[in-house]
A and B are shown apart, each in its own frame.
Chain A
Amino acid sequence: MSEPSPAGNFRPADSPSYESILQCMRCGFCLAVCPTYALTNRERSSPRGRAALARAVAEGRLEFTPAVGEEAYFCLDCKACTTACPAGVRVGTIMEFCRSQEQGFRPPSLPAGALRDFILKRMLPSPALMEGSLLPLRLYQRLGVQWAVRRFGINRFLPGALAKMEGILPALEKPLRLELPEVIPAQGKKRGRVAFFLGCAMSLVFPEVSRQTARILSQQGFEVVTPREVKCCGAPHLAEGDRDTARRLALTNLDLFLGLEADAIVTDCAGCGCALKEYEELLEGHADHGRLGRFRAKVRDVSEFLAGAGIRTEELRPVPMSVTYHEPCHLVHGQGLSGPPRHLIGKIPGVELREMKESNWCCGMAGSFALKEREASRKLLERKLAHVRATGADALVTANPGCHLQLAWGVRELGMKQPVLHVVELFGRALPA
């Protein structure tokens, strides 16, 4: 067999490495955990199938066909297969590269392309532009629009997606980014100084959650620094295949946060945390290796940080309720964090944690998937909520804004009783007033 050229039928820029694809030895363990395979029972919509398609492209046996692009976007990038893979294959990451490839091979037509460019390259990188926008549509929704416009034509697409968009969006409040003090002092005996990475979705859609995060960190003895110059973490760009803009944003955040001299960089958004932890890889060759390593070593999800630091429980008040916990993909699979959020929940006096089945399965939000693939998304959501209902818990706890939106929408649609809470919202209820 002749040695294939490095990229085969991939475009050279931002192509997945051949080694990363070859790592798959096709044992099929991933089939048991892949939500899109569970939906379709179609091998090409499984991690093993997607890796095989990428391999065929890399080996020049297959062009980068529209079907390969479709599979790259049909992948939830939930990374459940990464957790399940003994061989260490990261199909989600390979599919992110394939999304980039799809953008290169088949750039979206006008005006969808212009809209996409505007969102990814102008609006998201600029918090002020995003916050100032009058449209009650945010990141995920916008990306969903451009996708569907491109694929199906605007008329066929709009009614369904708009209905879901309107349904899913809570009333927007004033962005927290401009409200939160840049420095919040530590309470009690000071244990350190943390930089709070305030994500776009948190600031805009869930300001109350991030207010709790800052409050808890301070109550637990940490000085909280929240820089207003923070940029989007780049996760939406990676997900949509715009690696250039993602790198630009990452470089800005890297400089900004390293300059704060904090002990840790903490976020309460699983999606941001996952992206921040991947800066090292994203910026390889674009920034100093040592600085990337230092940055990576500081990034923590809020539950990971608090569990690691040890939680002060003396002043906590009982919160008598039962909860069940939905694990965000970007926390459990993206960052391997399954224990810390449960640890946090377990420290709250009076809270009973009732485990649901398949707690680590995707809720069907998956960035813009919920809008692009509404039928598939709804099936995943219903599967999830059936497990929630079976627990009979008083509340549904999670730790990521995307899941939060989707779950809250589903709970309302199905008339379920459980309010959806971020784990820090629950913890916040235990803090002294």
Chain B
Amino acid sequence: MLTKAAIDRLRQKVGTGNVYHEREDLLVYGYDGTPETAGIPDVAVFPQDGEGLKAALAFCRDEGLSLTPRGAGTGISGGSIPVRGGMVLGLTRMNRIIEIDEENLTATVEAGVITVDLFNAVASRGLFYPPDPGSQNVSTLGGNIAENAGGLRGLKYGVTRNYVMALSGLLIDGTEFFTGGKCVKDVAGYSLRDLLVGSEGTLGIITEATVRLITPPQDKRTFLAYFRDIRTAGEAVSRIIAGRIIPATLEIMDKMTINCVEDYAAIGLPRQMEALLLIEVDGHPAVVAEEADGVRRILQEVKADEVRLAANAAEAARLAAARRTALSAVARVSPTTIIEDATVPRSCLAETFAEIERLKEKYKVRVATYGHAGDGNLHPTAATDERNREEIANVHAFFSELYDKVLSLGGTVSGEHGIGTAKKAYLLRQLGAGGVAVMRRIKDAFDPAGCLNPGKIFLDAPAPPSTVHPGGKDV
């Protein structure tokens, strides 16, 4: 319990308007986009500069508080939920684009810069920052890096990790770190940078990042292909990849997703179809023409039921934007949406779709499936209601059995969302006790007291029951 004197002291150092401890504020910094779970911090702090940040960390150490870093709170594995209370450290007010270096093709940003703002800023200089997670209009670069966020362009352009060149920030004990740089090659010591990318805010607090920029594609072509059988769509994906064509985007949506998205976006998606693929090839015009022909040929060979070409860039952008709304649009059907992030080798897509269909039947759950098919990264999303405990139990049983299959195929329990609070048990299943123990040792080396973003990734060390706030309940 923080005293008023302590809060006043913090306010003096960080600025009155940057410290919240009223109950109404604390309630809304206890959640992110993850269903079924929320916490309540003791205080929420939004430093505007490095000094404020250091002061916030010192305060945590003095008061013995744990600390949970937060970007826009759009994560969907619970990474920014303060499950043990303590301080929520918001980084959204450190949001300057520090530099766009056109000679080295890099941009340096503070952690709170919004993804799409960086995209637009570099685009105005004729450059391209490709990672585009679904929440790019809201999400922060710091959050993207901490979660190693993916997006619709992952297939050809990779994910956030592939663009991070340098990071700086603070460890929980106040140690400043700087790792990486603008050099294209750099093997000086362990790559702390690569360890921090995807560390979900459990190792250090990233305050600044330098990212790699590339030149934008000169041309692009966008297809929509409709299928009466989702397995055929899966086959089309596998054959496009096997055909040595790497589209920028190769997305799938099943019937339920199509209908939810169409309910919201009203862009004329075919409600009766079992699946659609959104395929975008980009690059040099000659290559685009060739790859477009290749895609079209494969779609004919697998007998796609209909193939459409987007009329122009605006229509292509509308289609991609509609796809990004899938997760939230599924919530039209039912208040709770539990999204998973199952990822398999791409040759196994059709088999995975078949398993999803079988398990939907077995557990009688409503599941919309969509995702980055070209990456083998699927987001089966259960439309359910957290008040219905029986149904929730079925949903979790469904996912549990699905992950058995995914892991047996050589897949992973998280392609791009992270482990957070939501997938700790699945992580153990995938890596085994030994694999998790190595990670634990790394965590202990960075944060021996376990104060930084506690309760994430690792299944061990359960929180005392009095401080656990499941299902939106609070203290």
Residues 45-81 of A at the B interface (beta carbon under 8 Å): 48-49, 52-53, 55-56, 59, 61-62, 65, 67-68, 71
Which of A19, A29, A48, A85 is within 8 Å of B137, CB to CB? A29
Contact check, A86 vs B332: say whether CB atoms are below 8 A apart. yes
- Contact present for A22 and B137 (CB under 8 Å): no
Which one, B31-39, B365-373, B456-464, is touching chain A?
A: B31-39
Nearest CB of chain A from residue B373's CB, rounded to whole Å = 20
A1 to B474, CA, bound (A): 12
* Contact B27–A62 (Cβ < 8 Å): yes
Q: Given A29-B137, A53-B28, A65-B23, do A86 and B474 touch, yes or no (CB 8 Å)?
A: no
**Taking the complex as formed, is A3 at the interface, i.e. its CB lies under 8 A from any CB of chain B?**
yes
A42 within 8 Å of B (CB atoms): yes
Which chain B residues lie closer than 8 Å to A358 at the CB level? none
Contact residues of A between 2 and 29, Cβ < 8 Å to B: 3, 19, 22-29
> Is the CB–CB distance between B22 and A86 below 8 Å?
no
**Can you list 9 contacts pairing A with B, beta carbon distance less than 8 Å?**
A1-B387, A3-B387, A26-B31, A26-B33, A28-B73, A29-B138, A67-B23, A86-B261, A88-B264
Q: Which of B9-37 contact A (CB under 8 A)?
A: 20, 22-25, 27-29, 31-35
Complex-state Cα separation, A417 to B29, whole angstroms? 44
Chain B, 430-475, CB within 8 A of any chain A CB = 471-474
Residue among B46, B114, B135 with the highest chain A CB neighbour number at 10 A = B135
Chain A residues within 8 Å of B421, by CB:
none
- Report A26-46 residues with CB < 8 Å from chain B CB: 26-29, 31-32, 41-44
Picked from A23, A52, A53, the residue with its CB within 8 Å of the CB of B335 is A23
A26 and B32 form a contact (CB under 8 A): yes
- Please give the distance in Å from B123's CB to the nearest CB on chain A: 15
Given A26-B31, A28-B73, A87-B329, A1–B471 Cβ distance below 8 Å? yes
Contacts of B72 in A (CB 8 A): 28, 31
Contact between chains at A28 and B74 (CB < 8 Å): yes
Query: Which residues from A are CB-within-8-Å of B24?
Result: 44, 53, 62, 65, 67-68, 71
B94 to chain A, nearest CB (A): 11
**Which residues on B sit within 8 Å (CB–CB) of A55?**
472
Q: Smallest CB–CB gap between A102 and chain B, Å?
A: 14
Tell whether B336 is near chain A: CB-to-CB under 8 Å. Answer: yes
- Closest residue of chain A to B31 (Cβ to Cβ) is A26
Choose among A19, A68, A86 the residue with the greatest number of B CB atoms under 10 Å from its CB.
A86
Known: A43-B73, A61-B474. A52 touches B31 (CB 8 A): yes
- Tally of B interface residues using CB under 8 Å: 45
B23–A28 CB distance below 8 A: no
Residues on the A chain within 8 Å of B20, using CB: 42
**With the chains together, A236 CA to B23 CA distance in Å?**
31
Set B28, B29, B73, B335: member contacting A25, Cβ < 8 A = B335
Interface centre among A22, A24, A43, A71, by most chain B C-beta atoms within 10 angstroms, is A43
From A44, A61, A65, A87, name the one whose CB has the most chain B CB atoms within 10 angstroms. Answer: A87
Q: Are A28 and B27 in contact (CB under 8 A)?
A: no
Residue of B nearest to A71 (CB): B24
Name the A residues within 8 Å of B347 (CB-CB): none
By Cβ-Cβ distance, the 10 closest A-B pairs, closest first, are A86-B328, A87-B331, A86-B325, A86-B329, A32-B137, A49-B28, A22-B335, A25-B331, A43-B28, A67-B24
Supposing A29-B137, A41-B93 touch, asked if A23 and B331 sit within 8 A by C-beta, the answer is yes
Distance, CA A56 to CA B31, complexed state (A): 12
Given contact pairs A23-B335, A28-B138, A44 touches B28 in the complex (Cβ within 8 A): yes
Q: Which single member of A1, A43, A87 contacts B29 (CB below 8 Å)?
A: A43
User: Interface 1/0s, chain B 257-272, versus A by CB < 8 A?
Assistant: 0001101110000000
Which of B93, B264, B386 touches A86 (beta carbons < 8 Å)? B264
Q: Are the C-beta atoms of A27 and B335 separated by less than 8 Å?
A: no
The CA-CA distance from A87 to B114 in the complex, in Å, is 22
Contacting pair A52 B27 (CB below 8 A):
yes
CA distance A87 to B329 in the complex (A): 5
**What number of A residues sit within 8 Å (CB to CB) of B?**
34
User: Complex Cα distance A56/B30, Å?
Assistant: 12
Q: Are B27 and A19 neighbours in the complex by a CB distance under 8 Å?
A: no
Inter-chain contacts of A48 with B (CB < 8 A) = 28
Expressed in whole angstroms, the minimum distance between the Cβ of B335 and any Cβ of chain A is: 4
Q: Is B337 an interface residue, CB under 8 A from the partner?
A: yes
Residues of chain B contacted by A26 (CB below 8 angstroms): 31-34, 73
CB neighbours (8 Å) of A87 from chain B are 264, 328-329, 331-332
- Residues of chain B within 8 A (CB-CB) of A29 are 135, 137-138, 325, 328
Cα–Cα distance between A61 and B29 once the two chains are bound (Å): 15
The answer for the CA separation of A22 and B265 in the assembled complex, in Å, is 21
Q: Is B92 an interface residue (CB 8 A)?
A: yes
Residue of A nearest to B264 (CB): A86
Interface residues of B in 250-290 (CB under 8 A from A): 260-261, 263-265
B83, CB-defined interface residue at 8 Å: no
- Is B122 part of the binding interface, using a Cβ–Cβ cutoff of 8 Å? no
Residues in B with CB closer than 8 Å to A85 are 328
Smallest beta-carbon distance A383→chain B, Å: 15
Contact among A22, A41, A49, A88 with B46 in the assembled complex (CB-CB below 8 Å): A41
| B327 contacts chain A at the CB level, 8 A cutoff | yes
Distance in Å: Cβ of A317 to nearest Cβ of chain B = 32
Chain A residues within an 8 Å CB radius of B337: 25
A42-B25, A43-B28, A61-B473 are known contacts. Are A27 and B137 too (CB-CB below 8 A)? Answer: no
User: For B473, what are the chain A residues with a Cβ–Cβ distance below 8 Å?
Assistant: 1, 61
User: What is the minimal beta-carbon distance from A89 to any residue of chain B, in angstroms?
Assistant: 8
Q: Which of B22, B329, B331, B332 contacts A67 (CB 8 A)?
A: B22
Residues of chain A within 8 A (CB-CB) of B261 are: 86
Complex CA gap A1/B473 in Å reads: 8
Beta-carbon contact of A27 and B135 below 8 Å? yes
**Are B138 and A31 in contact (CB-based, < 8 A)?**
yes
Contacts of A32 in B (CB 8 A): 114, 137-138
Known: A42-B25, A43-B29, A85-B328. A25 touches B35 (CB 8 A): yes
The answer to whether B73 touches A62, judged by C-beta atoms less than 8 angstroms apart, is no
Given A25-B35, A29-B137, A48-B28, 9 extra CB contacts under 8 A: A23-B332, A25-B328, A26-B73, A27-B33, A27-B74, A28-B135, A32-B138, A56-B474, A61-B473
- Contact mask for chain B residues 53-79; partner A; CB cutoff 8 A; 1 contact, 0 none: 000000000000000000011100000
Rounded to whole angstroms, the CA-CA distance of A61 and B74 in the bound complex is 23
Closest to B93 in A: A41
Complex: chain A residue closest to B44, CB-CB: A43
CA–CA, A52 and B31, complex, Å: 9
Smallest CB separation, B345 vs chain A (Å): 29
State the Cβ distance, B358 to closest chain A Cβ, in Å. Answer: 27
* B364-403 interface code vs A (CB 8 A; 1 in, 0 out): 0000000000000000000000110100000000000000
One digit per residue, 1 when the CB lies within 8 angstroms of any chain B CB and 0 when it does not, for chain A 270-290 equals 000000000000000000000
Complex Cα distance, B472 from A44, in Å, reads 16
Question: Complex: how many Å from CA A246 to CA B91?
Answer: 43
Q: B25 — which chain A residues lie within 8 A by C-beta?
A: 42-44
- Across the interface, do B138 and A56 meet the contact criterion of CB distance under 8 Å? no
**Known contacts A3-B387, A42-B20, A62-B23: does B474 contact A28 (CB below 8 Å)?**
no
Give the docked Cα–Cα distance between A85 and B29 (Å).
20
* Nearest neighbor of A40 in chain B, beta-carbon distance: B17
B35 neighbours in A (Cβ, 8 Å): 25
CB-CB nearest in chain A for B385: A22
Q: A26-B33, A28-B74, A61-B473 are in contact. Are A52 and B28 (CB under 8 A)?
A: yes
- Give every chain A residue within 8 A of B28 (Cβ-Cβ): 43-44, 48-49, 52-53
